[in-house]
Amino acid sequence: MAEKMKVLFCSSEVAPYAKTGGLADVAGSLPVALKEIGIDIRIVMPKYKCVNIEGDRDLLQGKVWVYFVDNKEYFHRDYLYSTPEGDYSDNLDRFVYYCKSVLEISKREGFSPDIIHCNDWQTALIPVYIKSIYSQDEFFKNTRTIFTIHNIAYQGLFPSEEWEKTSLPGELFSIQGLEYYGKINLMKGAILFSDYITTVSPTYSKEIQTPEYGFGMEGILKGRSDRLAGIINGIDYSVWNPAEDKEIPQNYDIKTIDKKVINKQYLQTEYEMEIGRDIPLIGAIGRLTDQKGWDLIAEVIDEICQLDLQLIILGTGEKKYHQLMEEIATKYPRNTSINLKFDPILAKKIYAGCDLFLMPSKFEPCGLGQLISYRYGTLPIARQIGGLADTIIDLTQNPKNGTGFLFREYSGRALVEAITRAINFYRNRKGWRNVMKKVMKLDYSWKNSARQYLHLYKEIKNLPTALNVR
């Protein structure tokens, strides 16, 4: 029997141990799906303060070993990367330490990987180390690297004075290397030196090759377009499951879909909105950053609230958005419920209890909210970009196959227009019920995407390696 493919999966956050966003969901479920289709996969992540595990390893979902990089000084902190005041000032030290530890743990465990699968800037030095410091190391002789971009807006930028901390040769701080407008850019290093690059949706993989969405990386990504592909994320169907979810007030499935409304009444009651099964309830969950389109919501909140609907928001992030949201809460206490915190249980109740889920993102690499919403029979209203464009079909344009409501232009006007269309559609209760059933039947579990990764791993294994640095 052929030996199993060995994959070392590197991520700075893995659910349920530590999570700030979608990356953790992916890292906590894709490896499990890969294990189930026969890959010998292990994960390495930092041991933050919030990681409640004795020792230096744990079995994720009883299936995949997770190794923890333990360094009290670097990781035993209240947040992962930044406090509300800003980024930790020693983030380069922290993630250099993490990246080096990944390679050392791999050696310590005698786990010589066919593929090291890296994710986002925190892991970006690993492919660079493999091609430089470790290029002569027999242990990694047959190792290929793949770098997945979950969000190109965060590249890991540091002042040039910190270069020494990377332990990389000086010549790599150049335009052909990690230098970017006088700064160190970790993601640039990974894009240049990985054997393959992926993003989390096909549309985003094309968008990031353009100035509008590339955040300065479009040129070098174009240069590597023969080694760049998009694979859509899945979600963990055992975690997100309205039939068995213990966190929601009322379980339901396609056959008992009428019970979903009990979750809506719960939200209306608990969160002090008017109680009524026919008032459309819209949810929005996400990091309060520029990316997610909160500015659009704030801009047209008056028009939105005139539409006889309710809005429940859950999010945490930048101060300016906290303020904007608080203003909305004060102005529209009966129409809205604003929850400025990170709360996975409330998130589930929102996915289950709402009729619609709002994602007016400026850009969206994949987006998980729309996929989770489908699972709970909640229809998305979203901008037609990135992974949202790949996973949502507009109901107005394609009533037969439609799954949600899309708008293209990044403007308050376009957002209000899409919400209005959704609300009008909602009045047709029978049609609505059918679409709810349709989206609950969609399959965005990891099964398909894990197969695509497996296929890619096999292909990369046989590719000539990208250039060694020295």
Binding site for ligand ADP (CB under 6 A): 21-23, 25, 151, 285-287, 314-316, 342-344, 347, 366-369
Q: Toward ligand ADP, which CB reaches closer, 109 or 290?
A: 290
Q: Pick between residue 127 and residue 315 the one whose CB is nearest to ligand ADP.
A: 315
Residues 433, 442: Cα–Cα separation, whole Å: 15
Q: Smaller CB distance to ligand ADP: residue 177 or 404? A: 404
Tell me whether residue 113 or residue 360 sits nearer to ligand ADP (CB atom). Answer: 360
Smallest distance from ligand ADP to CB 287, Å: 5
User: Smallest distance, Å, CB 295 to ligand ADP?
Assistant: 16
189 vs 286 by CB, closer to ligand ADP: 286
DSSP code of residue 326: H
Residue holding tokens 């992974």?
387
Which residue has the closest beta carbon to ligand ADP?
Answer: 22
Q: What's the closest the beta carbon of residue 197 comes to ligand ADP, in angstroms?
A: 18
Q: Are 115 and 148 in contact (CB under 8 A)?
A: no
Closest CB to ligand ADP among residues 114, 390:
390
The CA-based dihedral angle spanning residues 460, 150, 393, 222, taken in that order and rounded to the nearest 10 degrees: -60
The residue whose two tokens read 């994602």 is 359
- Rounded CA-CA distance 198/177 in Å is 20
How crowded is the C-beta side of 231, counted as CA atoms within 13 Å? 24
| Cα(186)–Cα(451) distance, integer angstroms | 29
* Amino acid in the structure at residue 318: E
DSSP H helix total and E strand total for the chain? 18, 19
Q: Which is nearer to ligand ADP, 237 or 342 (CB)?
A: 342
CB of 204 to ligand ADP, least distance (A): 11
Q: Phi and psi of 42, rounded to 5°?
A: -135, 155
Nearest approach, Cβ of residue 21 and ligand ADP (Å):
3
Burial 148-167 (b: 16+ CB within 10 A, else e): bbbbbebbbbbeeeebeebe
For residues 288 and 304, which CB has a smaller minimum distance to ligand ADP in the complex? Answer: 288
CA distance 257 to 242: 10
Nearest distance from C-beta of residue 132 to ligand ADP, angstroms: 30
User: In which order are the strands placed within the sheet that holds 196-199?
Assistant: 57-60, 64-69, 40-46, 6-10, 115-119, 144-149, 196-199, 228-230
**Closest Cα partner for 193 from 143, 138, 233?**
143
Task: Tell me the C-alpha distance between 306 and 310, whole Å.
Answer: 10
β-pair partners for 197: 147, 228
Residue 365 or 402: the one with the smaller Cβ distance to ligand ADP is 365
Q: How far is the CB of 363 from ligand ADP (least distance, A)?
A: 10
Is the CB of 76 or the CB of 287 nearer to ligand ADP? 287
CB under 8 Å to 286, separation ≥6 — which residues?
A: 292, 315, 359, 369
Taking the complex as a whole, the smallest distance from the CB of residue 232 to ligand ADP amounts, in Å, to: 11
Q: How far is the CB of 294 from ligand ADP (least distance, A)?
A: 12
CB of 466 vs ligand ADP, minimal distance in Å: 27
